[in-house]
Structures are given as C-alpha cells and as structure tokens.
Amino acid sequence: MINSVHKKINSIVFSIFSPKQIIDSVSAKIVTPELYDREGYPVDGGLMDLRLGVIDPGLRCKTCNQKLKECPGHFGYIELARPVIHIKFVRQILDLLRSTCRSCGRVLIPDEKVKRYVSMLNKISDDEDAEERRKKVKEIISKYKAKDKCPHCNSKQEKIKIEKPYNYYEGDVRLSPIEVRARLEKVHEEDLVIFGFSSSNFRPEWMIITIMQIPPVTMRPSITLESGERSEDDLTHKLGDIVRINQRLFENINAGAPEVIIEDLWDLLQYHITTFFDNEVSQLPPARHRGGQPLKTLTERIKSKEGRIRHNLAGKRTDFSARTVISPDPLIGLNEVGVPQSMAMHLTVPERVTEWNKEYLRKKIENGPKKYPGANYVIKSDGRRKTITDETKEEILGELEEGYVVDRHLVDGDIALFNRQPSLHRMSMMCHIVKVLPGKTFRLNPAVCNPYNADFDGDEMNLHIPQNEEARAEAKILMLVETQIISPRYGLSVVGCIHDAITGNYLLTKELVFTRNEAADLLYGCGVEDLSSLPDKDRIDGKEVFSVLLPNDFNFVGKDKSGNQVKIVNGLLKSGLMDKSNLGQESGLMLRNIFEKYGPAYTADILGKISKLGIAVLARRGFSIGIGDLDLQNEVSEEISAIVKKAETEAHKLIDSFYAGNLEALPGRTIAETLELRILEALNRARNKSGDVAIRQTKESSALTMAKCGSRGNPLNIAQMTAVVGQQALRGKRIEAGFNGRTLSYFKKGDLSPKARGFIKNNFKSGLTPNEFFFGAMTGRDALMDTALRTPKSGYLYRRLSNAMQDLKVAYDGSVRDASGRVVQFTYGEDNLDVSKTKNGVIDVKEIIQQTIGEKK
Amino acid sequence: MAFDVTKHTLVSKHLKVSDTEKESVFKQYNINSKDLPKILKDDIAIAHLNLKVGDLVKIERVSKTAGIAVYYRVIIEG
C-alpha cells in the first residue's frame, strides 16, 4: 500500500447494506458453484473468480489490475431465488413484527406518545450514553409488543411467535421470509427511531437477504498441499453449498416444480446461509467437513479467545524476539543480558550502509548467515530484500552501496528489551545491553532477579530487539536497568547484593585483614583499576578495602542490621558492617543516596563492583556450612530442655486448674478459650526464649553468619534447627481436629497437653518423633494449599486493579485524572509526593538543609 | 436517638463550599461539575449541611503523610 490516502475520520456510521448498495459496490456476479475448469483455471462467475481478487502469486486481479498483496480483494454477489432471514437479525425482526401493525405497518404506540418517547430517547442519549438509550429502547419495546389492537387503524393484531432459530409464526400460520419482508417494508420511517435504528440509510427489510454478498477470495484463500492438491477454505465450501442450492431452487421454480420441493430447497438454502454466518446456532446441526469436524464460518472467525479480536488484534505476536530458560552469571554487568550465540545469529539488527561503515558491513556479509558475526539479509535501495547465501554473497557484495540496509547479527553492545511474565510493574520489562555468550540460556546478573521476580528453577524470559534508532533511544533512555533502580513504589533500590555478595562484604567489613598485595588483587579482580586510594601500609583491613569502592566525597550515616551505626566519611567506611540493610535490595538508604548523588550509571557500576568484591572475598576466604554449625554445648542443650520442660509443666498446671475450675477467664473469653490462649502464650514464650539462648550460645558458624547479615535464613530457622521447632498452628489455633476428641489415635480423648496438640519440643537436628512429624506435615500441607490457592486469587485481584486504573495519570496541576479528564484525586496521593524521588516515602528535610548549608561554606 | 456519624473519628469533616469558593476551585483545576467526584444528596455525612444538588462539599481528610488533605465532591440526586 504505497499510495495510501490520508484522511481524517470524522465519524463512523454502522448500518446494513441495501441490495442496491451491494450490487453497486460489487465487482462480480456469482452464478456457478464450480471453482476451476479442467486446466485448473478459475471459472468466470465461479467462487474463485479472478475479479474477486488474487491469491496466486504472479496473477493479476481482473478488477484492480494489482498483484497479490496489493489487491485488497473485491466483493461479489449472488441473487437468491427466494429471500432468506439473516440469522444475526432474528431478534430485531421479531421485535419489529411484534410491535408494528400487521395491516398498516405503524408502531403499536399512539401518535402522541410516539413523539414523547422519541424526545425522551434523544434526551437520554444526550445526557447519558448510548448504553442507557439502548436500555430504554428495550424497555419501550417490551412494553408495546403483544398489544392486540392497532391504535392507528384499529385492526386486530395476532400474536407473533418464533420457532427457533428462524421461523416466525402468526398464530399457527408460518410467515415465509417473503411475507416477513413485506411486513417490514410497511414499517414507517419515523417509527424506526423508537426501535433504536437510525432512520436515514436504513430499511428494516434489508435484514432479509435477497442479494447476498460474497466475500473476496483474499479472505478465504485456498491452500495448495504438497501433493499439488488444492484445499479450499471453509467459507468457500459453504458458499459453494449456497450457490449450488440456489441454482437448483431457480431451476425448480422455473420448471414449475411442486410447492413441497421448492419449500424443501428453500429451507435448505436458509440453513446453508445461516450456517455461513454462524455455525454454532443452537437447534441447528453445525455444517461439517467430510471428516465430521465442524466448519469455521464467519462468526467463529471473530469471536472467542482464538478469534480475530482476542487472538490477532489484542494478541499480537512479534518478530525479532526470543525466549529461553534463564540462568545466573554474577560476572556480567547489572545491565547486561547474556544471549546464546545461536540466538544472536537469528536475531538481527538493520544497519544502513554509509561511507563509514561500508567495510565493516562488508565483512559481515562475507561471513554470511552461518558464521558469527555475520548478516542474514540485505535490503536494497528499492526496498527489495535479498537473503544472503553462499550463492548470492558475491553478487550482493558487488552491488553493495550506500543506502542499502544490512540485517546483521546481534553483537555485544546492542540494545534489547528483557521481560518476564507476569509483567506486573514497569520493572518487569527493562532494557539490557546484549552480551553474546556460548550456551543456550539467557544469562542475567542475579542482582536483577528481584525486579523481575525471577529465579533459576526453570524460569523462562523473553527478549526483544528494537529495530530502529527511535526505539533503541527510547529503550535506552527510559528503560535501561540502572534507570529503574529506584522503585516508584517505595523509593528504595529494587536491586542490590544478594546471597554470597552480602555475606562476603559482611565478613570483609567485619573481620578480614589483608596484605596490600591481596587487597590490590581482590580489588583489581572486580574491576577497580585506580588503586590510589588504597592505604599505603602492609596490613589493610576489610573496611579500608571496601572504602576503595566508595567515591571520595560520599558521606553517609545509617544503621546496620544489628542496629550499630554505619558511618561513611569522605568515602571511608569508619564504623558499621556492610550487611543486608545497606547492600540488600529493598532496604537501606546507602544505595538510594549513592543513586541520588552520583546517578544511575555510577550506581549500577558500583553495585556491580561491590557484588563482585563480596563474591571474590568469600571465594578467597572459603565459606561452607555443615551439621557442625548447629552444635550446641551440653550446658546450652540442658538449659533449653529446662526451658521447654518448665513451659510444659506450666501448661499442665493451667490444664489442671482448668479442670479444677479455678482458671480465671480473660475478659471477653470463655474459660476454654482462656486456657488455649494461655497455653499458646506459655509455649511460644518458651520457644522464643530457647531460640534466643540457642542463637546466643551457638558458636560462630556459617549458618549464623548468614542469618546475622541477612543473606539467607533468619534466627528462627536456626532456632528450629538447634533448639526447638515449636508449636504447630492450624488457622491460628493449636491442632484440634482429626479423630473424635483427639488429634491422633495415640492420645487419650480430650488430652489438652502440649504434645497432644502439636507442640514439637524436638529440633530438626535431633529429629522429630512420628507424632511431631505428623503435626509438622499437617501445618506444612496447610501452608502449601494456602499459597496455591492464594496466588491466582491475588493475581486476578491485581489484574482487575491495574486494568481499572491503567489510564489514570498525574496532570500538570498535580491532580490525578482519568482518560476523560475527570478528577480522581485533587493532590496526587494526598501529599503530592513522587515516591521515587523520596527516600522510603519520606523527604528528609533536615538532611537537605544540612547538605545545602554544608556545601555553601 | 440516631447515632451522629459526623462525630465519628473515621468520618472526615464535610464542609459547605460557598459559590465564590466553588468558582475558584473550578478555575484552579479548569473543570466543571461533571468532572468532579460525586456524593449522594442524602449521604448521612452531609445531611446536616442542607445542601442542594450541584453544590460542592469540601472534605478535609486526616492524612498520615500530608496532615490534612482537601477533597471536593459535587452533590448529585440521591
């Protein structure tokens, strides 16, 4: 479509084709059901008539003289021997028949009321919308159908019934489509407004088909099988049936055949035309292929999930995209994505040949499609595309000139969009820099797992390659990973160090000391080339090593995970440890402050270096856990079992006093509830206490280190492994149900003691008793079910919210408006704050003042 | 005796907006009454204000972050 017409659409009118309009707009009349003659050439006046458009390459359309892909196709028509009801208008026709007079054709509403209704309807469509008007129309129609006397000509009205799907009866007499059409012809133009039809350009009798439009061949192309056989589209099959029956009907009428035969053929024609429009009409057997599979006709093409709208219009597919499993690579940059070479050879980037890149692109063409880095296609100045193969290579190289476009392979440094479903927030699709790597998976830096919510248990992700400068610029400026570091939800960094990187930096800043050589080696290994800020002494402690990464003018005061002050003065870490609350994702202001002061690129860079440093330190120091990490000294174990025993006796005392009747009820509780609560409280207290003891007394171990710095595990996990697993709870209560009056058959009925109600006094290291294990399995299963049921529920909830709010935006005056400019909030979020420009949702005025004054002097 | 909801801590303060103030709100946001959020005429929170359809109600909400947040609603037929 090179000669496209540019015009502005002012309005759109929906209407029905009149027979005359059809004939005027049509380019061929179809008279024969035959498709091709003996030479395989389309028959004139057949369904594949060349005037209806071209589907064969090389042929030209007889109507517009254009080639395949240029000719849009043209409609044809057939003249039906007898009129037929259009299945999609059955409802409307019934409404019209019922509420208009059978003799004078007027609507069954008195004149004076007609006017009132019309003005009322106009008012509704002005004030409200078309939807309200339609409702009102429905209301009016249902009020006036089945009046038994015409207010205009006083003639008696019969009751019109419908026999699904398309037979109308007046009383017991069937109305043929001819009669129906005659009735509709009588309906007055001014009355049509009542029914919701616009009076100009529309007549109700057009809802009965007399002239049928034949869709162009371009929308029902036949496919040629490998055997050379032609296979026609479902629509063509259906149209063939229609034309054939129509011919026979004509012949029989002309020959003066008996009425019964004509009636039968007429019915058959009605059936075929009905199924042509909709093959899923209830009460009608669907038309089938020889194999028995139903034909896919017009309605089925459009509707439902696989239909044109949801599948092809709303669900577009795209070229230059790829999908595969993801795996981690902590050594590539935060904003990089590792792309398998095999993919890089199929994903291409168009590059225009210029004076300056001619040689470079020439080399790519020489490499061809099979040798990386090569090129797959060349687009010539006239827009024609040529595949690069061993045969065409020489020719293309010979003619290559400025203005040609080469589709070259993806190379390092190209721009790509990387995405993981479900795309719930804007960080679900970010721009990455391509790095072509061996292997078959996408590689990403584990630090960006969090915004994508990805892990490596088999997750797959998608990659898209922007194809022009504008798209690349937009992606790079707006969507590059580092520009997305600060979350618009809570104003903190969404990326940060994880796992080993945190542990490494924690140990580094806590206890490690290096020689100068070791320190230099470590730093150089994670990309630091300027070691001038490394202190000039033999023993360099970890804090000093870490400080080398920090910019010299960076100042920061914060807290680490254990609550100690972290102080950075002029880029030197003076006190505090680098743990999760400073390096981790979604926590701490250190990364936030670096981002604010030094910008996106610098933050991504320093984050990468910190990560690598942590991992390198950990690799050098060595780090592993084992069962020995969970060892407790004997005294500690005894202390813990004493605490547990004490709690159990306390619980038993409570139970005894409950049975003795001298347990005092808490306000608003029954005595039984009080007992439960107090037992639960006593047991939880014991668990927490023994957990604390265990944590305090466990020797320094790797497991504890990880829990302390926040890289993996928490104190509770350790307590459960070393001390006591604790009370298992179902729906917030101790375990109750199971057998009649008891949890397991092992216990006595009515046993309220801790061990009979799911208290696990063992720890994971010592091992659980069978009863305890069963209680653990009960809560475990409950938790599993809970997550399995909650995920889709909250997903749908989120979807509804995001769909409802998708076009709200903050206007220039600070108010939140919807698409039509209606106010939703007068000040954005009540406080006019852009969260992504705050620190965890607050603006620290004090700090801003300090900074401003401090810098002035 | 009916419970007075306007005395409840969770019910924000609803105030009558004078005609001049109404004009200035319209001008400030460059809107007219159909662009505003609505409130039913018989809403209990504004029953004591004796307002008519088309009037504006100013709602002063206590906000955790902003102190008092101002909101406007236009009264519609109940």
* pLDDT, tens digit (0-9, with 9 covering 90-100), for A303-342: 877 888 888 888 888 999 999 999 999 999 999 999 999 9
Using 50, 70 and 90 to split pLDDT, how confident is the model at A346?
Answer: very high
What radius of gyration, in Å, describes the C-alpha atoms of chain B? Answer: 13
Domain that holds residue B67: 5-76
Q: How many domains does chain B have?
A: 1
Give the pLDDT of residue A160.
81
Residue A836: per-residue pLDDT: 86
∠A99-A103-A107 over CA atoms, to 5°? 30
Query: CB distance A830–B31 less than 8 Å?
Result: no
Residue A577 has pLDDT above 80, yes or no: yes
Inter-chain contact A829–B65, Cβ cutoff 8 Å?
yes
- DSSP track, A685-733: HHHHHHHHHHHHHSPS-HHHHHHHHTSS--HHHHHHHHT--EE-EETTE
Min Cα–Cα distance to chain A from B70, Å: 7
* A103-132 confidence digits (pLDDT tens): 888 877 777 777 777 777 777 776 666 677
Q: What is the mean pLDDT of each successive set of 10 residues along chain B, which is 78 residues long?
A: 83 90 90 88 86 89 87 86
A848 within 8 A of A498, measured Cβ to Cβ: no
CB of A580 within 8 A of CB of A711?
yes
Whether residue A827 and residue B70 make contact (CB cut-off 8 A), yes or no, is: yes
Burial A239-251 (b: 16+ CB within 10 A, else e): bbbbbbbbebbbe
Domains and CATH numbers, chain A: 27-74+215-309 (4.10.860.120), 84-206 (no CATH), 321-484 (2.40.40.20), 500-621 (1.10.274.100), 628-772 (1.10.132.30), 809-856 (no CATH)
Element (H, E) at A245: helix A234-254
Q: Is A810 helix (H, G, I), strand (E, B) or coil?
A: strand
Give Cα separations from A196 to A80, A180, A638, B35 (angstroms).
29, 20, 87, 29
Residue A365 has pLDDT above 80, yes or no: yes
pLDDT band at A377 (very low <50, low <70, confident <90, very high): very high
Contacts of A575 (CB under 8 A, 6+ apart): A564, A565, A566, A567
Q: How far is B32 from chain A (nearest CA, A)?
A: 9
Predicted local confidence at residue A320, as pLDDT: 94
**Euclidean distance between the first and final Cα of chain A, in Å?**
67
Comparing A82 with A6, the larger pLDDT belongs to A82
Which tokens in the block code for residue A219? 């929308």
Which residues in chain A have Cβ-Cβ distances shorter than 8 Å to B35?
821-823
Instruction: Enumerate the β-bridge partners of residue B70.
Output: B60
**What DSSP string describes A474-520?**
HIIIIIBGGGG-B-TTTSSBS----THHHHHHHHHHHT-EEEHHHHH
The CATH number for B67's domain is 3.90.940.20
| pLDDT above 80 for A627 | yes
- Please, which residues 772-831 of chain A have a Cβ atom closer than 8 Å to chain B? 813, 815, 821-827, 829-831
Sign of the CA dihedral running A350, A354, A357, A358: positive
Report whether A30 contacts A47 (CB < 8 A).
yes
**Quick one: average pLDDT of A6-28?**
87
Please give the pLDDT value at position A675. 85
Q: Distance (Å, rounded) from C-alpha A191 to C-alpha A196?
A: 9
Chain A contact for B18 (CB, 8 A cutoff): no
- Please judge whether A831 and B65 are an interchain contact, meaning their C-beta atoms are less than 8 angstroms apart: yes
Q: Find, among A698, A697, A690, A680, the residue nearest to A641 by Cα.
A: A690
Q: What percent of chain A has pLDDT over 90?
A: 28
Whole-number pLDDT of residue A450: 92
The average pLDDT across A227-256 equals 88
3-class DSSP state of A10: coil
- Nearest-angstrom CA–CA distance, A623 and A626: 10
Does the beta-carbon distance from A831 to B69 stay under 8 Å?
yes
Extended beta strands in A516-607, E state: 539-541, 556-559, 565-569, 572-575
Shortest CA distance to A159 belongs to which of A167, A169, A151?
A: A169
- The pLDDT value recorded for residue A857 is 39
When the pLDDT of each residue in chain A is averaged and rounded to a whole number, the result is 87
**Residue A850: predicted pLDDT:** 80
Task: State the Cα–Cα distance between residues A198 and A209, nearest whole angstrom.
Answer: 20
Distance from the A124 Cα atom to the nearest Cα atom in chain B, whole angstroms: 16
Q: Positive or negative CA dihedral for B31, B35, B36, B41?
A: positive
pLDDT at A856: 46
Q: Which residues of B touch A826 (CB under 8 A)?
A: 29, 70-72
A223: enclosing H helix or E strand? strand A223-224
Q: What is the pTM of this model?
A: 0.74
CA–CA separation, A107 and A151 (whole Å): 9
> Using the beta-carbon criterion (under 8 Å), do B36 and A831 form an inter-chain contact?
no
Q: Among B58, B65, B70, B74, which would you mutate to test the A interface (most chain A Cβ atoms within 10 Å of its Cβ)?
A: B65
Phi-psi label, residue A826: left if phi above 0, alpha if psi -120 to 50, beta otherwise: alpha
Query: Could you give the CA distance from residue A531 to residue A524 in angstroms, rounded to a whole number?
Result: 8
Helix (H) or strand (E) holding A431: strand A429-437
Instruction: Quote the CA–CA distance of B52 and B78 in Å, as a whole number.
Output: 11
Q: Which of A145-149, A470-474, A625-629 is predicted least confidently? A: A145-149
Cβ B69–A830 below 8 Å, yes or no?
A: yes
Q: Could you tell me which residue, A636 or A436, shows the higher pLDDT?
A: A436
Q: What are the C-alpha distances in Å from A846 to residues A81, A166, A842, A850, A852?
A: 89, 78, 11, 6, 10
